[in-house]
Amino acid sequence: MEVVAIVNRKGGIGKTATAQALGAGLKKKGCSVLFLDLDSQTNLSFSLGAKTTGVTSMDLMTGKAKAPDAIQHTPQGDIIAGSEALAAADVTIDGKGKEYRLKKALEGIEKTYDYIVIDTPAALGNLTINALTAAESAVIPVQADIYSLQGIGQLNKAIDTVKKHSNPDLYIRGILITRYNGRAVLSRDMQSNLEAVAAQLKTRLYSTPIRECIAIKEAQASQQDIFSYAPNCNAAKDYEAFINEFLERKG
């Protein structure tokens, strides 16, 4: 089983869309997948048609439940749903070993799934640190802009801290450009800069950027994955190429 965290401290760059597409694409390839929503906005939970009441990922974080107790089965796949209560995680989750809460909660399902895909919040607090501690790898979605370049540097510092203190085996699987506009000169220039950043981080920039596409939002609103909703749209084709590259090699 591989736990993959979809991380970026910047919001609005397609973390949830990438988590949903990655999980759905891996399922299409015959893999068993568990989605895990660690974002208090619970967008991934909504997109999969999961209930955000009852046992949620917040119960895993507080030690009240373990993964088998929280798994919901939806038409799109299995998920541990998020909760609005996650917004207070930095205040309510404390004490020694707090960064290991999620990792401990996931014990016992190693043979149940091929992948666990974690959607993280746009912050480097307890939730993201827990996700990185529990994960084997991280995928970083970014936009081709200057703010994303700055954000990757800050995120890499957090990843290095996690590797030093709680998860020495964590690595960055790759950087994925999302919401891409190939007609913009700035986007093309930033793509070159991101290739250099990926090399510095000893990872790779995935070769196919995910083009901006209204079908992604429409699919989320319809509570469908992009491959079911609009299999021939640009985003579906781009995410398919990303998933093929994801499966070809690690790091």
Residue 190 — pLDDT band, cuts 50, 70, 90? confident
Share of the chain above pLDDT 90, in %: 76
**143 to each of 89, 146, 149, 188, 210, how far by Cα in Å?**
27, 9, 9, 11, 9
Distance CA 40, CA 228 (A): 26
SS3 for 205? Answer: strand
Say whether pLDDT at 185 is over 70.
Answer: no
**CB-based contacts of 183, cutoff 8 Å, min separation 6:** none
Q: Which residue from 159, 173, 246, 178 is spatially nearest to 204, judged by alpha carbons?
A: 173
Do the Cβ atoms of 127 and 120 come closer than 8 Å?
A: yes
pLDDT digits (tens, 9 = 90+) for 124-152: 899 999 999 999 999 999 987 777 777 78
First to last CA, the chain: 16
CATH number at 2-248: 3.40.50.300
